[in-house]
């Protein structure tokens, strides 16, 4: 029996699908709401036509392993190249991520929490204002300064 995956479908009696975020060779990624703990989460729904000769469970285990290795790799890089600052850098990351190396909650990527995150946000906004990078209306783009390349001239001179 093929099950239709669509908005509103409840998975494992707990997660209600809200919107499809993307798809690829392994299946689809959906934003869902956890009914037991009302937060948004990301769910990967594996396709039935998984890559030939591969076990979906093994592929997912490899993905989790890569994530764990990246976490270790970053810490090792930090300790190797900035040993005097490593503990301080990790303490700042933890202050931004609820005491963890990463915040796995959906929608939390590229957003920190707490006073340090607010300070970074304010500094970014001030720099944007100072340099005229406001989020308001942007002037329409113009092609007036562009000219087509000469016909039948081959590769243009790269200036070397």
Q: In terms of pLDDT, which residue wins out, 44 or 122? A: 122
Please identify, in words, the CATH class of the domain defined by 8-51.
alpha beta
Please say if the pLDDT value at position 1 is more than 50.
no
What is the token pair recorded at 103? 């915040």
Neighbours of 69 (CB within 10 A): 10
Q: Where are the domains of the chain?
A: 8-51, 55-132
Q: What is the mean pLDDT of the chain?
A: 80
5 phi, psi to nearest 5 deg = -95, 120
Contact status, residue 116 vs residue 95, Cβ threshold 8 Å: yes
Q: Which positions ≥6 away from 10 have C-beta within 8 Å?
A: 16, 17, 35
pLDDT 10s digits, 57-80: 777 788 778 877 887 888 999 999
Query: What's the whole-model pTM score?
Result: 0.47
């Amino acid at each position: 029996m093929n099950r239709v995956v669509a908005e509103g479908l409840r998975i494992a009696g707990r997660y209600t699908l809200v919107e499809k975020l993307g798809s690829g060779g392994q299946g689809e990624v959906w934003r869902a709401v956890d009914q037991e703990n009302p937060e948004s989460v990301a769910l990967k729904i594996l396709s039935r036509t998984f890559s030939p000769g591969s076990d979906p469970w093994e592929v997912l285990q490899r993905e989790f392993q890569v994530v764990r290795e990246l976490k270790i790799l970053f810490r090792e890089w930090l300790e190797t190249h900035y040993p005097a600052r490593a503990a301080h850098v990790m303490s700042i990351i933890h202050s931004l991520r609820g005491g963890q190396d990463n915040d796995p909650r959906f929608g939390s990527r590229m957003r920190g929490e707490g006073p340090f995150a607010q300070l970074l946000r304010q500094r970014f906004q001030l720099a944007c204002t100072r340099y005229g990078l406001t989020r308001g209306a942007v002037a329409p783009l113009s092609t007036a300064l562009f000219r087509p390349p000469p016909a039948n001239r081959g590769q243009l001179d790269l200036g070397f």
